[in-house]
Amino acid sequence: MQLADKTALITGAAMGIGRACALRFAEEGAQVVVADVDAEAGRSVVDEIRGDGGEAQFVEVDVRRRADNERMIDDCRDAYGRLDILFCNAGITLPKTLPETADDEIDEVIDVNVKGLMYAARYAIPIMLEQEDGGSILFTASKTGLVAQEDSPVYCASKGAAVLLAKALALDYAQDDIRVNALCPGVIDTPMLRRFADAMPDPEAAWREYEQEQPIGRLGTPEECAEAALWLVSDHASFITGVALPVDGGFTAM
Ligand code: NAD
């Protein structure tokens, strides 16, 4: 088992990519802290993991709040005595041009997609520094943190920030056994993407277009993201830090 005896905290783990990662990490032996603002869906992921014989706990958290991030890390340490893997995955989109975007919408995207990562990592790093074998931090950025997408400038800026935050922290802690990487999903079939398509004038046409836009000819799955995330946080990637890994069916190769 690749994550035996490791403790992994995953934000945004109630659905989509985070849920698939929680299930996969637990399957590989990790004790998983499922952190999410959606308590009902988060608890059902915990039930699923326990039903499969794994170990998991739920923590209700709004990653926009500094104090919630502090409590979530404390709860993890109280429950398991350590924190080996911090996976900041919670994120939100904002498909609007800049002039259409209100102040509070800018704040919300930056708070969730950027400040949430900073707060969580700020509380996790001292714990990992105290541990003999360090730890691994992963941020879910996006292909839009590597190449821009039309009509989503605030989202793109937030994901670009996630990529550079990972690289900057990777340098700061390279000699302390703390690896920091970014996962850059392409277009993945999750509740987020379904909501995005449903908001289009013709959702079915929008969905077909997403599929056709992918060099590989289809959308990615949360499970495919989970395989890449598992490798990045596991000891198999022990010489990998400061990397932004596209999981995008070739999108950023174009
Ligand atoms: P999703 O909407 O399906 O799931 C996101 C989860 O994050 C939900 O469980 C939600 O409750 C939680 N969440 C949202 N705001 C939160 C907050 N303030 N505090 C705590 N939890 C919160 O989304 P997804 O598609 O699985 O996306 C996961 C990550 O992947 C996000 O960072 C997203 O930007 C990124 N991403 C997704 C795609 C895609 O095509 N689906 C592509 C690139 C990047």
78-82: Cβ within 8 A, 24+ apart: 79/31, 79/33, 80/7, 80/31, 80/33, 81/7, 82/7, 82/127, 82/131
Of the candidates 119, 123, 155, 173, the residue annotated as catalytic is: 155
- Average pLDDT, stretch 113-140? 98
Q: From the CA of 214, how far away is ligand 1's center (Å)?
A: 20
- Ligand 1 binding pocket mutation candidate from 10, 36, 195, 210 (most atoms within 8 A of CB): 36
Distance CA 245, CA 6 (A): 22
The alpha helices in 101-190, defined as continuous H runs, are: 103-110, 116-130, 153-172
Q: From the CA of 92, how far away is ligand 1's center (Å)?
A: 6
Asked if 50 contacts 56 with a C-beta cutoff of 8 angstroms, the reply is yes
Residue nearest to atom 39 of ligand 1 (CA): 188
Q: From the CA of 140, how far away is ligand 1's center (Å)?
A: 9
User: Is 210 an annotated catalytic residue?
Assistant: no
Instruction: Please report which confidence band the pLDDT of residue 199 belongs to, taking 50, 70 and 90 as the band edges.
Output: confident
State residue 73's pLDDT score: 98
pLDDT surpassing 90 at residue 238: yes
- Ligand 1 binding pocket mutation candidate from 58, 190, 218, 248 (most atoms within 8 A of CB): 190
pLDDT surpassing 90 at residue 200: no
pLDDT surpassing 90 at residue 184: yes
State residue 167's pLDDT score: 99
How far out from the chain centre does Cα 197 lie? Answer: 21
State residue 5's pLDDT score: 93
pLDDT tens track for 61-91: 999 999 999 999 999 999 999 999 999 999 9
pLDDT tens track for 27-65: 999 999 999 999 999 999 999 999 999 999 999 999 999
Q: At 234, phi and psi to the nearest 5?
A: -85, 170
Following DSSP, what letter does each residue of 116-134 receive, concatenated? Answer: HHHHHHHHHHHHHHHSTT-
19 CB less than 6 Å from ligand 1? no
Distance CA 5, CA 3 (A): 6
Helix then strand count (H, E) for the chain reads 9, 7
- The structure tokens listed for 69 are 């991030």
* Secondary element (H or E) of residue 9: strand 7-11
18 CB less than 6 Å from ligand 1? yes
